[in-house]
């Protein structure tokens, strides 16, 4: 492929598709001239939207599809009978080497299942994981797994740690990002066996990974480590608990500032509040990634607007430009070889 990056877009997935999707694509096209888009979906709906949002004809090609994976379709059913869908066709373009990454705001389970089947798992990775970037007191945090695997063994947790390490490096440039294993106490004797086992394997990597030991639920938003590793059940619970708390806090604040004179007082803090809003705007952190696959597949939030869909596309572009998959493969074999050597020496 040339220097142009090709990103495939499932234009029909998400609550506000295809409008918000095409508007998001147009935003990215304006700021990044190196990207060309494949748009999968209903041409009759997409074409007028490209004109409306000023997406120039030389920046995209529409691949017309007639089928749509619905939000409540079961992943198994979507795989069986969704082969003509915009989602499937968009993923297949990555598998067949025509595109560098796929982005969809559609059904998460279906996107995960289809991505796994079409792209396949990186050799050496037992289970792919869902990763996302979250805001914290200390800056961005990469958390994984956020729901792909309800149960995990120690080896899965070790693989997630390695993938998180590479992902953080690719996204933020940090050479040796810190890694924490989510547990219910920081002592060595605490928590489930698979977590204690994963901890001792991770310690075996020595300097190669910046493993900091156990972290707890509060350490996610406090940013104690750059990467938080957990099974998909705890990770999903934590992620959603954070979302719920943020909504609760916002609701309480709105109530406190409801009287007219209180709202008048807000004017004095307007610049600080706008900065705060920008910093923790969940839309900026949109774009969950399926890591561990032989290809880049990014899930945008189902309720994405144009701005947040654009952020998800930008994540996909960053991963593609940095050859995330190749780097995970290389880092994995690198670390595995060294560990085997260490084990053999012992």
Residues that bind a copy of itself (CB under 8 A): 74, 135-137, 147, 150-151, 182, 184, 189-192, 216-222, 230, 232-234, 236-249, 251-253, 255-259, 261-269, 271-273, 275-276, 279-280
Q: State the minimum distance, in angstroms, from the CB of residue 62 to a copy of itself.
A: 33
Q: Give the H or E element holding residue 22.
A: helix 19-31
Q: State the minimum distance, in angstroms, from the CB of residue 144 to a copy of itself.
A: 14
Q: Decide: 220 and 134 in contact? Cβ < 8 Å.
A: yes
What one-character-per-residue DSSP string does 115-152 give? HHHHH-BPTT-SS-EEEEEE--TTS-EEEE-SSS-SS-
* 183 vs 210 by CB, closer to a copy of itself: 183
- Both tokens of 111, joined, read 């996107």
- Both tokens of 186, joined, read 């920081």
Q: State the minimum distance, in angstroms, from the CB of residue 228 to a copy of itself.
A: 10
210-215 vs 60-64, strand pairing mode = unpaired
The gap between the terminal CA atoms of the chain, to the nearest Å, is 45
Q: State the minimum distance, in angstroms, from the CB of residue 251 to a copy of itself.
A: 6
Q: State the minimum distance, in angstroms, from the CB of residue 107 to a copy of itself.
A: 12
Collect contacts of 46-54 with beta carbons under 8 A, ≥24 apart: 46/11, 46/18, 46/22, 49/18, 49/19, 49/22, 49/23, 50/22, 50/26, 52/22, 53/22, 53/23, 53/25, 53/26, 53/306, 54/26, 54/30
Q: State the minimum distance, in angstroms, from the CB of residue 196 to a copy of itself.
A: 10
Q: State the minimum distance, in angstroms, from the CB of residue 329 to a copy of itself.
A: 29
Across 172-307, the runs of DSSP E, i.e. the strands, are 178-182, 210-215, 227-229, 288-291, 296-299
- Both tokens of 242, joined, read 């954070």
Could you give the CA distance from residue 73 to residue 79 in angstroms, rounded to a whole number?
10
* 250 vs 330 by CB, closer to a copy of itself: 250
């Amino acid at each position: 492929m040339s220097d142009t990056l090709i990103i495939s877009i499932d234009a029909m997935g998400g609550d506000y598709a295809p409008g918000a999707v095409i508007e998001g694509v147009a935003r990215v096209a304006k700021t990044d001239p190196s990207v060309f888009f494949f748009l999968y979906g209903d041409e009759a709906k997409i074409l007028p939207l490209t004109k409306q949002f000023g997406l120039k004809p030389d920046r995209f090609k529409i691949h017309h599809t007639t089928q749509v994976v619905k939000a409540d379709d079961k992943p198994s059913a979507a795989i069986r009978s969704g082969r003509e869908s915009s989602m499937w066709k968009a993923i297949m373009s990555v598998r067949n080497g025509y595109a560098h990454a796929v982005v969809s705001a559609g059904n998460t389970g279906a996107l995960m299942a289809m991505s796994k089947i079409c792209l396949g798992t990186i050799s050496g990775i037992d289970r792919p994981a869902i990763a996302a970037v979250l805001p914290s007191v200390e800056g961005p945090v990469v958390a994984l797994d956020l729901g792909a695997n309800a149960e995990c063994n120690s080896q899965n947790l070790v693989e997630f740690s390695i993938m998180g390490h590479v992902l953080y490096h690719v996204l933020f440039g940090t050479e040796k990002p810190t890694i924490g294993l989510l547990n219910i106490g920081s002592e060595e004797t605490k928590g489930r066996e698979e977590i204690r086992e994963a901890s001792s394997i991770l310690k075996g990597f020595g300097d190669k990974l910046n493993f900091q030991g156990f972290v707890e639920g509060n350490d996610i938003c406090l940013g104690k480590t750059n990467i938080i590793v957990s099974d998909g059940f705890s990770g999903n619970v934590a992620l959603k608990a954070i979302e719920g708390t943020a909504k609760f806090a916002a609701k309480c604040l709105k109530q406190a500032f409801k009287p007219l004179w209180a709202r008048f007082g807000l004017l004095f803090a307007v610049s600080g509040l706008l900065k705060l809003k920008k910093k923790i705007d969940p839309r900026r952190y949109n774009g969950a990634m399926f890591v561990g696959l032989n290809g880049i597949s990014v899930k945008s939030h189902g309720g994405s607007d144009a701005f947040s869909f654009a952020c998800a596309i930008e994540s996909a572009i960053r991963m593609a430009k940095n050859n995330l998959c190749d780097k995970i493969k290389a880092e994995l074999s690198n670390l595995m070889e060294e560990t085997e050597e260490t084990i053999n020496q012992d």
